[in-house]
C-alpha cells in the first residue's frame, strides 16, 4: 500500500530475469517461464493497486484491442426468450381487457425479469418469495387504507400508523440473515406505498385499489413465477457441459487455425468460462477447463515459433490429430517433434527457442494424456 510502484518494478525485473534464465531441460524452462507469468500477473495487480491509492509515477502504457467474448450465449438467449414471451403475454392481456393499470403490470414484469434472470436457479424461488411479499403487501395496505386510516384525522396519527408497518419491516430487512425473509420483506415495503396511495384528502376507491393491487401482485410475482416455471434457466449441470463442449470446439478450431486468437484473447475467453462455471460443477470439470486453457495457450505459442523451428510437419500432424480428437496420435507426433528438437545441435538463439518449444510440447502432451477422455470426446457444440 505504501509503495506499490516499487513492488511492481521488482516483479517486472524478476520476471525478465526468469525469462532470460539459462535452463538445461524443458522442465526447468517451463518452471522458469511459468514463474515469470505469475510475477507478471502480480505486476498487473500492483498496477491496479497503485491506481487505487493514487501512487506517484506514471503507469506503463498498455494498448490492447477489445474483443467481445461471451462464455456461452445460451443462458442469455433463454432469458431473452422468457422476457419476450412474458411481456408479450401481459401486453395481449392488457389490450384485450382494456385493463386500466396494465402498463404498470407491464413495467413491473420487465423489472422483475431483469432483476431475477441473473440469479439462475434461484430465480424461481425469488419470484415466489416476491409474490408472497406482494400478496402480503396487498393485505396490509388494504387493512391500513380501509380499516385504520378512516379513523385518523391528523398527520402525526398518519405517520404513526404507517410507521407501525414500515419500522418492523425495515428491521427485518436489516437484521435478517435469511435471503427469503429479506426478499419477502422487500416486496412488502415495495408494494405497500403504491397500494396505499396516500393523498390529502384520502380517497377510498375500492375498484381502483383492486386494479392497482392486481397490477402489482401479477407484475411482481405471478407472471414472473409462471415465466420461470414454464421456461426455467439452464441447469448447472447443463451449463457446465455446454462450457466444456464450447471450449473443446474452440480448441479444435484453434488447432486447425480456423480460429485465430492471440494468447491474451484465448486466456481472456477461458477466464470468462472459468468464472461462468457454476458452483455446483465437479472438480474434474474445472480441471478440464484449466487443461484446455493451457493446451490452447501452448498451441498458439507453438504456431508462433514454428517458422523458427523450420515449420516442422510433425507439429501440423499433431495439431490435426488434436482437432480430430485423437490424443494418442497427437502425443506420438509431439514426441517425435521433441526428439528431433532435442537432437538439434546446441548453440545460438535457436537453442533457447527449441527448448521453450520442447517445454510447450511437454505441457500439451501431459494434458492430452491426463484428460484424454475429454480431449478425445466428440462433444462438439
Q: Concatenated DSSP letters for 169-209?
A: HHHHHHH---HHHHHHHHHHHHHHHHHH---SS----HHHH
Does one domain contain both 254 and 370? Answer: yes
pLDDT, residue 347, reads 54
Shared domain for 36 and 94, answered yes or no, is no
In a domain, 381, yes or no: no
Domain assignment present for residue 356? The answer is: yes
If asked whether residues 243 and 368 sit together in one domain, one would say yes
* Co-location of 342 and 246 in the same domain: yes
- The answer to whether residues 156 and 287 belong to one domain is no
Binned at pLDDT 50, 70 and 90, residue 320 comes out as very high
Least confident of 166-175, 228-237, 308-317: 308-317
Has residue 260 got a pLDDT over 50? yes
Judgement on whether residues 296 and 310 belong to the same structural domain of the protein: yes
| Rounded Cα–Cα distance for residues 196 and 151 (Å) | 15
Same domain for 144 and 263? no
Angle of CA points 4, 10, 13, to nearest 5°: 140
Does 27 share its domain with 87?
no
Question: Is 380's pLDDT higher than 60?
Answer: no
264 vs 266: CA distance, rounded Å = 5
Q: Give the CA count within 13 Å in the CB-facing half-sphere of 152.
A: 19
Q: What does the pLDDT read at residue 379? A: 40
Average pLDDT, the chain: 87
Instruction: Please indicate, yes or no, whether residues 44 and 104 belong to a single structural domain of this protein.
Output: no
Cβ contacts of 193 within 8 Å, gap of 6 or more: none
Q: What is the pLDDT of residue 350?
A: 59
In a domain, 369, yes or no: yes
Q: Confirm whether 64 is domain-assigned.
A: no
Annotate 109-177 with three-state secondary structure: HHHHHHHHHHHHHHHHHHHHHHHHHHHHHHHHHHHHHHHHHHHCCCHHHHHHHHHHHHHHHHHHHHHCC
Mean local confidence (pLDDT), 263-268: 88
C-alpha span between 342 and 354 (Å, rounded): 8
Residue 337 and residue 240 share a domain? yes
- Domain co-membership, 101 together with 207: yes
Residue 13 lies in a domain: yes
Distance CA 322, CA 343 (A): 25
Report if residue 349 sits inside a domain: yes
pLDDT at 124 over 50: yes
What is the domain extent for residue 159? 74-230
Q: Quick one: how far is CA 129 from the chain centroid?
A: 25
For residue 16, being part of any structural domain is answered with: yes
Q: In this structure, is residue 60 part of a structural domain? A: no
Q: How many residues are given for the chain?
A: 381
CB-based contact 217:134 (threshold 8 Å): yes
Q: How many structural domains is the chain composed of?
A: 3
Note whether 345 and 281 are same-domain residues: yes
Amino acid at each position: 500500500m505504501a509503495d506499490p510502484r516499487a513492488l511492481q518494478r521488482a516483479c517486472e525485473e524478476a520476471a525478465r530475469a526468469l525469462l532470460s534464465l539459462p535452463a538445461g531441460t524443458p522442465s526447468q524452462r517451463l518452471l522458469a517461464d511459468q514463474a515469470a507469468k505469475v510475477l507478471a500477473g502480480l505486476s498487473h495487480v500492483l498496477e491496479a493497486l497503485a491506481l487505487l491509492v493514487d501512487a506517484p509515477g506514471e503507469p506503463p502504457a498498455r494498448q490492447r484491442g477489445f474483443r467481445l467474448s461471451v462464455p456461452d450465449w445460451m443462458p442469455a438467449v433463454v432469458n431473452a426468450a422468457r422476457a419476450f414471451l412474458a411481456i408479450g403475454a401481459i401486453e395481449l392481456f392488457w389490450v384485450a381487457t382494456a385493463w386500466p393499470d396494465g402498463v404498470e403490470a407491464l413495467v413491473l414484469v420487465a423489472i422483475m425479469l431483469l432483476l431475477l434472470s441473473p440469479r439462475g436457479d434461484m430465480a424461481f424461488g425469488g419470484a415466489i418469495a416476491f409474490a408472497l411479499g406482494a400478496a402480503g403487501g396487498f393485505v396490509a395496505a388494504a387493512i391500513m387504507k380501509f380499516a385504520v386510516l378512516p379513523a385518523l384525522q391528523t398527520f402525526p396519527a398518519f405517520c404513526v400508523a404507517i410507521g407501525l408497518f414500515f419500522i418492523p419491516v425495515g428491521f427485518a430487512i436489516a437484521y435478517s440473515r435469511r435471503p427469503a425473509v429479506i426478499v419477502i420483506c422487500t416486496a412488502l415495503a415495495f408494494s405497500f406505498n403504491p397500494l396505499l396511495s396516500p393523498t390529502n384528502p384520502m380517497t377510498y376507491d375500492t375498484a381502483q385499489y383492486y386494479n392497482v393491487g392486481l397490477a402489482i401482485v401479477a407484475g411482481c410475482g405471478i407472471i414472473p413465477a409462471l415465466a420461470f416455471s414454464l421456461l426455467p434457466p439452464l441447469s448447472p449441470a447443463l451449463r457446465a457441459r455446454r462450457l466444456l463442449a464450447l471450449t473443446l470446439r474452440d480448441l479444435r478450431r484453434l488447432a486447425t487455425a480456423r480460429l485465430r486468437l492471440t494468447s491474451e484473447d484465448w486466456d481472456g475467453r477461458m477466464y470468462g468460462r472459468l468464472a461462468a462455471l457454476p458452483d455446483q460443477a465437479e472438480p474434474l470439470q474445472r480441471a478440464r477447463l484449466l487443461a484446455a486453457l493451457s493446451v490452447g495457450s501452448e498451441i498458439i505459442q507453438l504456431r508462433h515459433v514454428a517458422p523458427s523451428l523450420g515449420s516442422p510437419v510433425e507439429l501440423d500432424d499433431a495439431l490435426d490429430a488434436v482437432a480430430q480428437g485423437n490424443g494418442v496420435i497427437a502425443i506420438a507426433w509431439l514426441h517425435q517433434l521433441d526428439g528431433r528438437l532435442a537432437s538439434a545441435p546446441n548453440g545460438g538463439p535457436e537453442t533457447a527457442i527449441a527448448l521453450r518449444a520442447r517445454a510447450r510440447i511437454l505441457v500439451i502432451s501431459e494434458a492430452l494424456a491426463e484428460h484424454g477422455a475429454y480431449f478425445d470426446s466428440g462433444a462438439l457444440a
